[in-house]
Copies of this chain bind each other. A is one copy, B any other.
Amino acid sequence: MGNDDQTFNTKIIPLRTKIDNIDSQILSLLKQRHAQVEHVVKLKKKHQIPVYHPAREEDLISKLRIQAQNANLDPDFMEDLYRVILRQSRVEQTGQMEHKGIRPGAKVLIVGGAGQMGRFFASLFLKSGYDVKILTRQDWDNAKQLCKNVDLCLISVPIEKTETIIEQIVPFLEPKTLLADLTSIKTKPLEKMLAAHPGPVTGLHPIFGPTSGSLDKQIIVVTPGRDSDSCKWLKEQLTLWGGIIVESSAAEHDEIMEIVQALRHFATFCFGQFLYERGTPLERTLEFSSPIYRLELGMVGRLFAQDSSLYAEIIFATPERRNLLKEFISSLSQHFEMLEKNDKDLFISKFKHIARWFGPFSEQAMRESTFLINKLTERF
Which residues of chain A have a CB within 8 Å of any CB of chain B?
Answer: 4, 7-8, 11-12, 15-16, 18-19, 22-34, 36-37, 39-40, 43-44, 47, 49, 60, 64, 67-68, 71-74, 77-78, 80-81, 83-85, 87-88, 207-209, 211, 217-219, 221, 246, 248, 252-253, 256-257, 259-260, 263-264, 266-267, 269-278, 280-285, 287-290, 292-302, 304-306, 308-309, 311-313, 315-316, 322, 325-329, 331-333, 335-336, 339-340, 342, 344, 347-348, 350-355, 357-358, 361-366, 368-372, 375-380
Contact = CB atoms under 8 A, between A and B. Distances in A.
18 contacts: A19-B36, A83-B378, A246-B288, A256-B281, A259-B280, A260-B293, A269-B347, A273-B350, A283-B361, A298-B369, A301-B365, A305-B363, A308-B348, A316-B347, A325-B335, A371-B379, A372-B372, A375-B375
A27 B64 contact: yes
A101 B239 CA distance: 58
Nearest to A283: B361
A310 B310 CA distance: 38
Contacts of A290: 207-209, 218-219
B329 A336 contact: yes
Nearest to A257: B288
B15 A40 contact: yes
B369 A295 contact: yes
A67 to B, nearest CB: 6
Contact of A276 (B39, B315, B357): B357
A364 to B, nearest CB: 7
A325 B339 contact: yes
B365 A297 contact: yes
Copy count, this protein chain: 2
4 shortest interchain CB distances as A-B pairs = A301-B365, A305-B362, A298-B365, A308-B351
Contacts of A221: 288
A156 to B, nearest CB: 18
A272 B85 contact: no
B28 A71 contact: yes
B11 A288 contact: no
A342 B326 CA distance: 11
Contacts of A219: 287-290
Contact of A351 (B18, B311, B379): B311
Given A43-B11, A290-B219, A365-B297, A74 B88 contact: yes
Given A267-B271, A329-B339, 15 more contacts: A4-B47, A7-B47, A27-B71, A28-B71, A217-B377, A263-B274, A269-B351, A296-B299, A298-B368, A301-B358, A305-B355, A305-B362, A305-B363, A311-B347, A375-B375
A267 B264 contact: no
Q: Which of A49, A274, A353 has the most CB of B within 10 A?
A: A274
A23 B16 contact: no
